[in-house]
Structure 1
Amino acid sequence: MELALDFLKNTGFAMADWRYLMMILVGILFCYLSIAKKYEPLLLLPIGFGIIIGNIPFFKGFGLGIYEDNSVLHYLYFGVTSGLYPSIVFLGLGAMTDFSSMLARPKLMLLGAAAQMGIYFTLLSALALGFTPQEAASVGIIGGADGPTSIFLTAKLAPHLIGPVAIAAYSYMALIPIIQPPIMRLLTTRRERLIRMPDTERHVSRKELVFFPVVGVLLCCFLAPASIPLLGPFFLGNILKVSGVVDRLAKTASSAVIDTATIFLGFTVGASTQADVFITPKALGIFFLGSIAFSIATASGVLFAKLMNLFLKEKINPLLGAAGVSAVPGSAREVHLTAQKEDPGNYLLMHAMACNASGVIGSAICAGILWSFMMG
């Protein structure tokens, strides 16, 4: 009986408390949303399962937890804390991105820049609530709606907040169908939502597509050298795609490489939400500020599109501004669906993807600027 009692004391059942159980329920909820509701399953499923694994109680010192040196999870987590996984994800994103729509209508790039306002407003709000400048910058980047960028910057500035920031960023990305449509409808009239974009665009030559990643990486990284770890692989992936001479490399980057990085990124970020280090007042504040950041980013893009229309002869649909956040392709799809509810013949997807692509670049530049500024 004494041996049996000692065994029971060493089980997770005996060591569990309400915090671990609550986080395990959150992990189960993420898995449910990804499987049953199909909310960003590529992100939420590995994150959700990682949350479950990371909140199984264990004895400290056995080399089991993600925060214990020499544990398997700790080694896997190095890809997060070093910024390795986000860089690999950006390589794959570059190999999957088609810039032809953006190059055909360069003015849409302005919407990607405008949507980054959510980052700076949230940074100021976080400072007002008592976060340190490095923590505030890490929270603010959630407004870019780019999970890998949020993780990368937080790993550099406030590593202790990687879990809350990553979970908040990916949660709001998964909730795009719930968050963005009400904001888009509130800030636009039906007449504006009915604006049709031209079906035919200027033909973008192969030469332009090949030159763009070279010019893009030079302009962006000279402007914000700290964005090199993200935008360097991103534009490399894109030139692999458009060059037409390394199809095998482009296909590998856009499939096996990015999928592998996504699995480990999501799983280890989920596992980092160990209840005894995750459930803090700051974590709750991050979730609150993250929702504000995402909402302001969406609103900023829409309002800037309306401002542009005051000076344009050929009006653009203000809904496109909501795709200026870098949640690819979720926000572009939601813009397209919102427009189609008003007019089933209004196809905005390709135009929205142009804004999305510029948003990815914009959020990475913002991350580079914040990193260099906060560490300078």
Structure 2
Amino acid sequence: MFEQILFFFDALLQQTGAANFSFGNLVMIAIGGAMIYLAIAKHYEPLLLIGIGFSCIVANVPGPPDVPGGPPVSALLYVVKEGGLFHYAYEGVAKLIIPPLIFLGVGAMTDFGPMIANPKLVILGAGAHLGIFVALILAKLCGFTINEAGAIGIIGGADGPMAIFVTVKLAPHLLGPISVAAYSYMALMPMIQPPVMKLLTTPEERKMGMAQLRKVSKLEKIAFPAVIAIIVNLFFPPVAPLITMLMLGNLLKEVGVTDRLAKTAAGPLMNIIIIILTVAIGSTMAADKFLTWDTILIVVLGLLAFLFGTASGVITAKIMNLFLKDKINPLIGSAGIASVPIAARVSHIVANQANPHNHLIFHAMGPNLAGVFGTAISGGIMLALLGVQ
């Protein structure tokens, strides 16, 4: 009788996921929990980390075998596999539907005034992209193909939609780990960037104030998206879909007669896309796929790309100060990577810690917005050189 009871409970247990936990599952659940903790306790981009962290946890809760006698399958698979809700969410990412819509929303939320007012800071948007090429070279030396190395390198641009776009074109099989690395590091920039920024600047440099920016006219703000869209479509067609949608969103914001559309793109539409995107990304973080040597290497290379990009931006600003009459605070150089407005906010916070009267957010937005175009140009060059349309 006792043996029959044990047999019954064992058979019942095998139909659940409780008997199939692995150490890898526990590691990934801890990572997902850490993301949620950082979002709540440290306010590190909660809009990104909550969805990614939660989906990472659920993706690593093993369920029963999909077929009798087969390996355990994550319960999340039942909504991720074909026909499931998040299957179509991930397809929206993989088929490059979600990234242009993200750019539409970002454009509708963005004021390009700081970049227009001080165009010389566009140089910082180029200078902060050394990390892309450092990671590309290192990835190639580590044995990745040139296409894979290019996709890994673009993580250093700190532009999630652009990283997805370029990866789908160059190395779609790496979309999961690259998108996870790109968005996770973007969210963790308040932790990653400050040590590099402080290492490369003196206390006096961090305290440095900057003159108020000139007022940008409404005509300039309306003309800007049209001009940029023409230039990008002429010279960088591989990445034109993203920048075109960015400029459309910005035009909806600036013209003053499409407020409903601008508010929808920047608000409800963007919120829906963020939920879909973060869950789609987090659902790729199953231990059996994520805890591999290649994935770990991609994550490490992505971190190096962010560190080198931050450092090269600060150093570029210091070099510019050798030639400028009106000096700039070198901290805004780190905002030259494309994560808008996270990188600009980090520059402002570090400067404000050194000098409570220092408010660099608007100055930092100039190179930060230029970084979007810097990443787009870098991605466009890669796609063009590798013959990808």
TM-score (norm 1): 0.94
In the alignment, what sits opposite 2:302?
A: 290
In the alignment, what sits opposite 1:276?
A: 288
1:15 to 1, 14, 20: 20
Letter in 2 for 1:283: T
**Residue 48 (str. 1) matches residue 53 (str. 2):** yes
Is 1:213–1:238's contact at 8 Å kept on the other side of the alignment? yes
Letter in 1 for 2:137: L
**Residue 169 (str. 1) matches residue 174 (str. 2):** no
2:86 to 73, 88, 100: 73
Is 2:80–2:283's contact at 8 Å kept on the other side of the alignment? no
Is 1:20–1:274's contact at 8 Å kept on the other side of the alignment? yes
**Residue 137 (str. 1) matches residue 150 (str. 2):** yes
SS at match of 2:226: helix
In the alignment, what sits opposite 1:108?
A: 121
In the alignment, what sits opposite 2:225?
A: 213
In the alignment, what sits opposite 2:62?
A: 57
Query: CA–CA distance in 2 between the matches of 1:71 and 1:375?
Result: 35
Is 1:65–1:73's contact at 8 Å kept on the other side of the alignment? no
1:209-231 residue CA offsets vs partner (Å, 9 max, x unmatched):
00000101111232211112211
Which segment drifts farther, 156-165 or 314-323?
A: 156-165
Is 2:181–2:299's contact at 8 Å kept on the other side of the alignment? yes
Q: Is the radius of gyration larger for structure 1 or structure 2?
A: 2
Query: CA–CA distance in 2 between the matches of 1:31 and 1:152?
Result: 26
Query: CA–CA distance in 2 between the matches of 1:146 and 1:251?
Result: 22
In the alignment, what sits opposite 1:186?
A: 199
Gaps of at least 5 residues in structure 1 are none
In the alignment, what sits opposite 2:335?
A: 323
Letter in 2 for 1:161: L
Measured after TM superposition, the shift of residue 9 of structure 1 is: 1.0
Query: CA–CA distance in 1 between the matches of 2:21 and 2:218?
Result: 59
Measured after TM superposition, the shift of residue 317 of structure 1 is: 1.3
SS at match of 2:62: coil
Query: CA–CA distance in 1 between the matches of 2:133 and 2:258?
Result: 39
Query: CA–CA distance in 1 between the matches of 2:263 and 2:242?
Result: 19
Gaps of at least 5 residues in structure 2 are 68-72
Letter in 2 for 1:101: P
Which segment drifts farther, 122-131 or 142-151?
A: 142-151
TM-score (norm 2): 0.91
Measured after TM superposition, the shift of residue 271 of structure 1 is: 0.4
1:344-372 residue CA offsets vs partner (Å, 9 max, x unmatched):
22221100011111112221232232233
Query: CA–CA distance in 1 between the matches of 2:137 and 2:333?
Result: 23
1:282-315 residue CA offsets vs partner (Å, 9 max, x unmatched):
1111111111100110111111111111221121
- Root mean square deviation of aligned Cα: 1.8
1:183-240 residue CA offsets vs partner (Å, 9 max, x unmatched):
11221223322332112x2221111100000101111232211112211111110000
SS at match of 2:47: helix
SS at match of 2:270: helix
In the alignment, what sits opposite 1:38?
A: 43
Which segment drifts farther, 171-180 or 239-248?
A: 171-180
Query: CA–CA distance in 2 between the matches of 1:332 and 1:19?
Result: 36
In the alignment, what sits opposite 1:351?
A: 363
Percent sequence identity is 47
Measured after TM superposition, the shift of residue 25 of structure 1 is: 1.8
Letter in 1 for 2:181: A
Query: CA–CA distance in 2 between the matches of 1:73 and 1:60?
Result: 18
1:28 to 20, 30, 33: 33
Q: Aligned pair in 2 of structure 1 residues 248, 73: CA closer, same or farther (>3 Å)?
A: same
Q: Aligned pair in 2 of structure 1 residues 342, 277: CA closer, same or farther (>3 Å)?
A: closer
In the alignment, what sits opposite 2:70?
A: none
Letter in 2 for 1:326: A
Measured after TM superposition, the shift of residue 65 of structure 1 is: 4.9
